[in-house]
Amino acid sequence: MIKSTFKFLFLFISILFFSFTLGCKKSSSTSKNVVTYTYDSFAADWGSAPLLKEAFEKNFPYTVEFVDCGDAIECFYKIQTEGKDCLCDVIVGIDNNYAGEVISSGILEKYKAKNADKLLYPFLQEQLSKDYYLTPYDFSHFALIYDTKSSVAAPEKLSDLTKDIYSKKIVLMDPRTSTPGLGFVAWTSAVFSDSEFDSFWKNLKPNILSMTPSWSHGWGMFLQGEAPLVISYTTSPAYCVEEENNDRYIALEFSDGHVMQVEGAGLLKTARNKEGAKAFIDFLISDEAQVLLPKTQWMYPSNKNIELPESYKKAAPLVQKTLFTDEKKVKEKTQKVIKLLNEN
């Protein structure tokens, strides 16, 4: 009986050891995966993620998994909510209007990508993170996109948007969840004085058809003809020219000037695969990755070596006047906007 018991224990321990060994191998395989939190249009089948994944995995001993969090700001919220259980290695999509808050939260670790000094436009790193908590991978200016088949005339400056002719004809995004939504608040903050800012948003309210949770939702409404104006980027119409041979939609250049968005990728301090995460950030600014962005992100690549498609020359106007904003001020203005829009 005792002998049989020992045989049983030996068999049981052997099974446990075998199972543990298999588990280690499985865990080792998982450690080669780079988990990347990003926004919906980046992760979509038609976005940058599929092509970047293919190119990255072809050249590096890692796999990359893109997790669609909705919008970039929601990526940050997700990481905070998950806490120590967060599996994210890299966050992709944090921009210059939100970078300070993300950096000050302490979730990121400094990392300067290989060849960053050689490849990137210097002003982009300055706009995003001088301490290399975030690495810029693309940029553009915010603009109102106008449907030229609309019955209303195109506005020429931000204050025009408050005119009665634009009643329920403007699609914006929620600045609490969407970086273009936050960018529009930043733009109005840069153009108007404090008193003018409040007046502008009060008068703009009846002209807003919808304030969608993400850029994809708002852009979709616009393309479906629900409104003739939507907040997006100066580079957005290049997509329609390139993919649909359609010049119906144009980016309006306002006399006020425009605010720039710089998007970046950051290494999580709690990343479980830091070497893989660093390799992905290095790859993201490389020629091989950056050449994919103009026709998937529809933004300017941060890598100065990349030649732009003809569609950009036709439909992506180069802004003559760039405005700069203070992130702390924009955060305060965002709270004011939400309060103003919720007032009866």
Question: What is the tens place of the pLDDT at every residue in 114-146?
Answer: 999 999 999 999 999 999 999 999 999 999 999
* Residue 113: alpha-carbon gap to chain centroid: 19
Phi first, then psi: give them for residue 4, nearest 5 degrees: -65, -40
Mean pLDDT, rounded, for 302-313: 96
Percent of the chain as helix, strand, coil, to the nearest 5: 50, 20, 35
CA-closest candidate to residue 323, choices 127, 144, 64, 166: 127
Nearest partner of 73 among 239, 185, 158, 170, judged by Cα: 185
- Return the pLDDT at 16: 34
Q: What is the rounded distance in angstroms from the CA atom of residue 136 to the CA atom of residue 256?
A: 26
pLDDT average, residue stretch 185-212: 97
Q: For residue 28, is pLDDT > 90? A: no
pLDDT in tens, 85-119: 999 999 999 999 999 999 999 999 999 999 999 99
| pLDDT confidence of residue 30 | 60
Nearest to 144 by CA among 54, 207, 67: 207
**Per-residue pLDDT tens for 151-180?**
999 999 999 999 999 999 999 999 999 999
Q: How confident is the model at residue 31 (pLDDT cuts 50, 70, 90)?
A: confident
- Give yes or no for residue 22 having a pLDDT over 60: no
Q: Which residues in the chain belong to E strands, given as ranges? A: 33-38, 63-68, 90-95, 108-109, 135-147, 170-173, 208-212, 229-233, 249-252, 258-268, 300-301, 322-323
Nearest in space to 63 (alpha carbons), one of 91, 28, 38: 28
| pLDDT surpassing 70 at residue 266 | yes
- pTM (2 d.p.): 0.86
Which tokens go with 344? 């009866």
